[in-house]
Structure 1
Amino acid sequence: MKILVDRSVLLPALSVVGGVVERRQTSPILGNLLLTAEDGLVRMKGTDLEIEISSAAVAEIEETGAVTLPARKLIDICRSLPEDARIQIKTQNERATLTSGRSRFMLSTLPAADFPAMEVPPAQIALQMEREILHRLLEKTSFAMAQQDVRYYLNGVLLELSAERAVAVATDGHRLAKVVAALDGDGEGLGAEPKQVIVPAKTVLELKRLLGSAQEQVRIELSARTLKVELGKTLVVSKLVEGQYPDYNRVIPADLQQHATIDRDRLKGALQRTAILSNEKYKGVRVTFEVGRLGLQTQNPEKEEAEDEIEIEYEGEPISVGFNVAYVLDVLSAVDVSTVEIRFRNAESSAVWQGLGSEDEVFVIMPMRL
């Protein structure tokens, strides 16, 4: 293989696929990227056996071929070169030589034939979706995903797709985030009965990273075991989490009599101040609802305390509820509007948090004992 390629097109593509490569691998080849040169493109692919990302860059192909190169070293070399650098990559025997100007690097390779490929069954569902919609669904729910929970089906985001709408849900058992978006109904294989899949946490994070800077529409294909997302020249293929996701509608409380509205930024600032002296392990804050006033109180094992209060629209009986301050701050960061609505029943029940008027976004936080 012998190619000439501009750093300005190679590095962005390498950064896209390199994010999936783990620093510690079970097999040496998983630390490499597969590069294939043909048809005026150098195609790149990285995988950890659970998720596979591929992209491409325009290049001058002097000799076609395929090789795997160490991902981190290749990316670091390209980053270190000048922005207008032109790079030659040439392979011979078991070595690859990367040359740019007076800089020369020799890298070890592994056979392209040994690079693992994910099996992708035929798609059962296929649809086009605006990039902003998918990014919003994942961005506003992923913070509530479980992290390495033994209930493996919670370690990801539930995507529920029907002809008319897409729903994303995440929960770790202590909080829940649900976001709904309308679809145009043009998908293949979608009906009135929703199709549920659980997207693994790492795939969710990679998709958020890629969707954040992209402009193209997204094509989504779902099979029984895999998710495929096509975004311009970038293709993401991921295994799905097997298992039955809990009935999230049962977690969202209804008939909540107590109701309060509050300025999001003022609440966020007060929580950040009081959190300074909260218990570092449990991060609890006592929130007291009173007519026209919201009181916040934290304390820690060193007997240190912090108190703050802000104005609030509330007309009910005084109620004190304990919340994890980090959970509340996560919700406030996910809300776009300036006013937050809080609904709850009593000090022992879960509270529903929403941006005022944002009926398609629901956040639930369970209380904690303080």
Structure 2
Amino acid sequence: MKFSAERATLLKALAHIQSVAEKRNTIPILANVLIHAADGQLSLKATDMEIEVVEVIPATIKREGATTAPAAVLYEIVRKLPDNVLVELDQADGDTPLQLRADRYATRLNVLSVDDFPSMGAGELPCRFKLNAGVLRSLIDRTRFAISTEETRYYLNGIFFHAADADGVPLLRAVATDGHRLARVETDLPEGAAEMPGVIIPRKTVAELRKLIDEAPEEIEVALSETRVQFTAGSIMLTSKLIDGTFPEYDRVIPRNNNRILRVGKKDFSDAVARVAAISQERSRPVKLTLEPGLLTLSASSPEQGVAKEELDDNRISYDAESLEIGFQARYLNDITDQVEKEVEFAFSDSAAPTIVRDVDSPSALYVLMPMRV
């Protein structure tokens, strides 16, 4: 095998590939990238047996063939090469080292057998549709903060995508929850997605997909079954296993009769939360919201540091319901308000019940936050 490729083109592809390759080296071949040169183009593949990424880039093929090389090492070498150089990789046969040359730089990389490189396989993917890249970005960005990191509840370690119906309108919903907060974002159901199974896309897959979206064409092709999902964005194809579990019936935790409504500017609120929370270094310490008609008081305390308090009056808030005291973890409040553009709406019931949070300017998103005892 022998080929040459532009450094910038090769680097961009290796950046996508190497983040998927397994770095713990429990199975050495999983740390490698499979390089296949044929038909005037270069294919790069990496997998950790949960996710597989394949990218095809233009190259000048001088001798067709295939090999594997350490993904992270190859990426670092190419990253540190000068701009605008032509990178040439040459391997005489499958057992010899891979030679890399760029301008006056040269190195050799040990390889592993192509025959040992695993193929994850997607199988049949009967449900196929296209999704706007910007829409998919929004679905991910506004829900992934709520993905659980507790491995014991593995079925919460991803985003649940499914077809839904709201008052006769077909929708595609993305939902994530860790038991303390829930994020639900919806968009119009794409053509072809009506029969899609409900699928839980794992946290790592979500992270890798999100990296690709910014460089993706306008539309991303989605294909899925009950066990696999595949995203095709231009010359990149990402295939992933799905979480084999049942996502909770999240609708049951969304309260229906929260009628104490607070509206406040996102920046005013999040800045005030940050200031009062600064009194304590404990991540789990709550911020207390004391609500009276026309007045919101935020406060936090620390046995070591003291008490902090800030008031937002009726020039900056809207609240005319009964008085209420309720507490939330500061980080959870900020995670949700970070998703809001301008004005945030809180719908309360009482100090012990879940609170609904909405972006006033974006009704497609709904968040639920569990209170803390204060």
Quote the Cα distance in structure 2 between the aligned partners of 1:309 and 1:40.
66
Match of 1:340 among 323, 339, 344: 344
- Matched-pair contact (CA < 8 Å) for 1:158–1:196: yes
TM-score (norm 2): 0.94
Unaligned runs of 5+ in 1: none
Alignment pair present for 1:276 and 2:278: yes
Quote the Cα distance in structure 1 between the aligned partners of 2:303 and 2:152.
30
Quote the Cα distance in structure 2 between the aligned partners of 1:320 and 1:159.
35
Quote the Cα distance in structure 1 between the aligned partners of 2:226 and 2:283.
40
Alignment pair present for 1:154 and 2:156: yes
2:367 is aligned to: 363
Quote the Cα distance in structure 2 between the aligned partners of 1:214 and 1:229.
11
Unaligned runs of 5+ in 2: none
Quote the Cα distance in structure 1 between the aligned partners of 2:128 and 2:217.
20
1:58 is aligned to: 58
- Matched-pair contact (CA < 8 Å) for 1:278–1:285: no
Quote the Cα distance in structure 2 between the aligned partners of 1:301 and 1:117.
56
Quote the Cα distance in structure 1 between the aligned partners of 2:214 and 2:57.
20
1:68 is aligned to: 68
The alpha carbon displacement at 1:292 in A equals 1.6
Match of 2:207 among 193, 205, 208: 205
1:104 is aligned to: 106
The alpha carbon displacement at 1:15 in A equals 0.9
- Match of 1:15, SS state, is helix
Distance change >3 Å, CA 218–CA 268, structure 1 → 2: same
Deviations 1:264-285 (Å, cap 9, x if unpaired)? 0111111111221235141311
- Matched-pair contact (CA < 8 Å) for 1:323–1:368: yes
Quote the Cα distance in structure 2 between the aligned partners of 1:301 and 1:238.
47
2:288 is aligned to: 286
Quote the Cα distance in structure 2 between the aligned partners of 1:354 and 1:25.
44
The alpha carbon displacement at 1:359 in A equals 1.8
Deviations 1:321-356 (Å, cap 9, x if unpaired)? 1101111111111122x1111101011111111111
**1:166 partner letter:** L
The alpha carbon displacement at 1:212 in A equals 2.5
- Matched-pair contact (CA < 8 Å) for 1:7–1:83: yes
Quote the Cα distance in structure 1 between the aligned partners of 2:285 and 2:83.
45
- Matched-pair contact (CA < 8 Å) for 1:33–1:70: yes
The alpha carbon displacement at 1:94 in A equals 3.0
The alpha carbon displacement at 1:72 in A equals 0.9
2:188 is aligned to: 182
The alpha carbon displacement at 1:301 in A equals 3.7
Q: Which moved more, 1:303-312 or 1:227-236?
A: 303-312
Please show how residues 1-370 of structure 1 align to structure 2 within 5 Å. 1-92=1-92, 93-161=95-163, 164-184=170-190, 186-187=191-192, 190-191=194-195, 195-311=197-313, 312-336=317-341, 338-370=342-374
**2:329 partner letter:** N
Deviations 1:39-93 (Å, cap 9, x if unpaired)? 1111111111111111121000001111111111111111111110100001133
- Match of 2:198, SS state, is strand
TM-score (norm 1): 0.95
Deviations 1:154-192 (Å, cap 9, x if unpaired)? 0000001369321000000010000000134x216x34x
The alpha carbon displacement at 1:23 in A equals 2.5
Identity %, equivalent residues: 34
Quote the Cα distance in structure 2 between the aligned partners of 1:207 and 1:306.
41
- Match of 2:151, SS state, is coil
Quote the Cα distance in structure 1 between the aligned partners of 2:7 and 2:164.
42
**2:366 partner letter:** V
Distance change >3 Å, CA 300–CA 212, structure 1 → 2: farther
The alpha carbon displacement at 1:151 in A equals 1.3
User: What number of residue pairs does the alignment pair up?
Assistant: 365
- Matched-pair contact (CA < 8 Å) for 1:274–1:307: yes
- Match of 1:134, SS state, is helix
Quote the Cα distance in structure 2 between the aligned partners of 1:226 and 1:289.
47
**2:126 partner letter:** Q
Runs of 4+ in 1 over 4 A off after TM superposition: none
- Matched-pair contact (CA < 8 Å) for 1:168–1:179: yes
- Match of 1:286, SS state, is strand
- Matched-pair contact (CA < 8 Å) for 2:147–2:158: yes
- Matched-pair contact (CA < 8 Å) for 1:279–1:299: no
The alpha carbon displacement at 1:111 in A equals 0.9
Quote the Cα distance in structure 2 between the aligned partners of 1:281 and 1:339.
25
- Matched-pair contact (CA < 8 Å) for 2:288–2:298: yes
Quote the Cα distance in structure 2 between the aligned partners of 1:216 and 1:37.
28
Quote the Cα distance in structure 1 between the aligned partners of 2:198 and 2:284.
33
Deviations 1:197-254 (Å, cap 9, x if unpaired)? 1001100111111113323311111112100111100001000001111111111111
- Matched-pair contact (CA < 8 Å) for 2:159–2:175: yes
